[in-house]
Amino acid sequence: MKKNQSNAPIFETVLEHAKKRMVSFHTPGHKNGRSIDKKLLDFTGKKVYYMDVTVFPEVDSLHDPTGCIKQAQELMAKAYRVEHSLFLVNGSSVGNEAMFLSACKPGDSVILSRNIHKSVLGGIILAGIWPIWIQPKIDQNLDVILDAEPDQIAETIKKFPEAKAVFLTSPTYNGVTSDLLEIANICHENNKLLLVDEAHGPHLRFHRDFPISAVEAGADMVVQSIHKILSAMSQGSVLHVNSDNIDINRVKKVVSMLQTTSPNYFILSTIDLARRQAVLHGERLLGQVIQAAEYGRKKINRLKTFTCFTRKDIRSRGYDLDVTKLTINVTKTGLTGLKIEDLLNEEYNVQIDCADIFNLIAIMGIGSTRADVDRLVNALEDIEKKYHGEQKNWNLNLPSLTTEMVLIPRDVFLSREYKRVSLSKSVGHISAQTLTPYPPGIPILIPGERITQEICDYLLELSQKDIRISGQENDALKTIRVVK
């Protein structure tokens, strides 16, 4: 298999084409880089623009592949040992939407934990799904959210036997993976599809010291951001389909409907190359990243005010951990993660993936090195010496989110029959808004849901604090959009 895997059909085809320096009477309009802004051209060089081509027979079509794209997708499917892999040029966001649209019919219900990326809600709205929510758990010791456990999924399936599928996010932003083998068993014993957002796990399959990936565990459909951890350019993702219960022709139609007809061949080439690299060199390269991450974790845990949970900590809670994600708890510093994120940025030129009050999340990828880790750890050490905040008594908590879904989110989104009410008087109304505070970074209200006293109190309390609330349509969150 490795012999074939040393090919990169899209990259090779596009490169051959680029070398011909052909006169272009097709899109894009920059004409092999000629009209690209000079400053940009000085920075990037000119060659790369010869690879920015459009669809023609030589370079194949993403929407009806018969040549190099077809071959590259087949190599991808072989690399992950799945039946079909479809390339995505709009990230896993489009993959999540495609999973709902291709696996479900309008009005189907899907069981899912609330710990979701916003594109999942997009998929629910587009496909007309009734969501059946599972309450995620908060771990107060680690200040993180843990996703649905197998028992919760089994119980929910029993309660809602009509559900078509179970949707899971694994790994989470923190690198925590669910017991996917057990969950896949539960789903399949009960004739439910298992759909997994594995945006953060395209690398798991390529090193034995990672948790089991969704593709290996037997999920029916899995979306992965090749660009997040492996070496594709941003937007490069893949949708794997591995199930007799999914109509692959429908999936292809849906993916085609959601994607641009002018895919960027540079992105496609890097998806192709990232697969080749992962298959041929993943074990070695990812092994180095694991070592660097564990070295960093140890050093961080030797600092006085920063801690970074370990795989053992997570395993003892019934989950597993991709150790290349460093969740760095900052609560002992007296500063917020957001403040430390700014300091790292401004004073140390170190950029982390995201932060909230409690944690910094540093994501490592196939290109990460031990020297990068040293930069981060040294900066944290310096911050610890220089900055001292006041200890705060903040707790990560969640209101009950398994509330009444009165209307299907799609109907609320499309109807536009809304009015605004004061947040403090919103109890009993049906939300027409999605509100996602950071932390916890999961939607507290979504369209179609009855607003409970508990949720209202929670949002009122958050509105008094310095917390970013995504979806908020006015600064102080004084009013909220509800169904008329």
Ligand X SMILES: Cc1ncc(COP(=O)(O)O)c(C=O)c1O
343 Cβ contact list (under 8 Å, min separation 6)? 379, 383, 387
Binds ligand X (CB under 6 A): choice among 9, 33, 65, 91: 91
Taking CB atoms, the residue at the shortest distance from ligand X is 91
CB of 31 to ligand X, least distance (A): 30
| Residue 69 · residue 87 · CB < 8 Å | yes
Pick from 109, 128, 100, 94: nearest CA to 409? 128
SS3 content of the chain, % helix, strand, coil (to 5): 40, 15, 40
Task: Report how far apart the first and last C-alpha atoms of the chain are (Å, whole number).
Answer: 59
Q: How big is the site for ligand X, counted in residues (CB under 6 A)?
A: 13
At residue 368's C-alpha, the angle toward residues 366 and 369, to 5°, is 130
Residue (224 or 403) nearer to ligand X, CB: 224
Binds ligand X (CB under 6 A): choice among 13, 32, 73, 93: 93
270 counts as binding ligand X under rule CB under 6 A:
no
411 Cβ contact list (under 8 Å, min separation 6)? 128, 448
Residue 19: how many other CB atoms lie within 10 Å: 10
361 counts as binding ligand X under rule CB under 6 A:
no
Binds ligand X (CB under 6 A): choice among 157, 183, 196, 199: 199
224 counts as binding ligand X under rule CB under 6 A:
no
341 counts as binding ligand X under rule CB under 6 A:
no
| Residue 169: strand, helix, or coil | strand
322 counts as binding ligand X under rule CB under 6 A:
no
182 Cβ contact list (under 8 Å, min separation 6)? 150
225 counts as binding ligand X under rule CB under 6 A:
yes
Binds ligand X (CB under 6 A): choice among 169, 336, 434, 452: 169
119 counts as binding ligand X under rule CB under 6 A:
yes
333 counts as binding ligand X under rule CB under 6 A:
no
Residue (269 or 331) nearer to ligand X, CB: 269
113 counts as binding ligand X under rule CB under 6 A:
no
- The region of 35-43, 57-65, 92-100, 160-168 touching ligand X under the rule CB under 6 A is 92-100
Pick from 236, 215, 263, 240: nearest CA to 102? 240
Residue (361 or 380) nearer to ligand X, CB: 361
Q: Site residues (CB under 6 A) for ligand X?
A: 91-93, 96, 117, 119, 169, 173, 197, 199-200, 225, 237
